[in-house]
Amino acid sequence: MDGFADAEVKWTDRLGTLRNVVRQDLIARQLAEHVAGGESVLDVGCGQGTQAIRLARRGCRVVGVDPSPQLLVRLNSDAASAGVDIETITAELDELNRRWGRATSTSCVRTGC
């Protein structure tokens, strides 16, 4: 994940731009088609947690996974400000199978449930 670590500051600096706000809104609308609220959600690559926080506000139990400790600190701070609880785990995608085995179904991988 070293390649992204170098660009992480640029990524966070652009979070409030119009392009990013529109992109995040589009993602939220797409997620709403698959997650009604109240489900358990594993957000892999959650970054700063924009979608994780939105889902938690809708009553979902959210676990956010990201390799960046800095982005997870931001997620935890923003979640606390929003009054929601989100469990965060510092890990890369390839570590998930070692940690949890093959518990994730293919349908959840496809739909993001």
CA distance 96 to 53: 21
Look up the domain containing 84 and give its range: 2-111
In this predicted model, what pLDDT tens digit does every residue of 19-53 receive, in sequence order? 888 888 898 888 888 888 889 999 998 989 999 99
CB within 8 A of 49, min separation 6: which ones?
43, 64, 71, 72, 74, 75, 78, 79, 86, 88
* Model pTM above 0.85: no
> How many domains does the chain contain in total?
1
CATH number of the domain that 43 lies in? 3.40.50.150
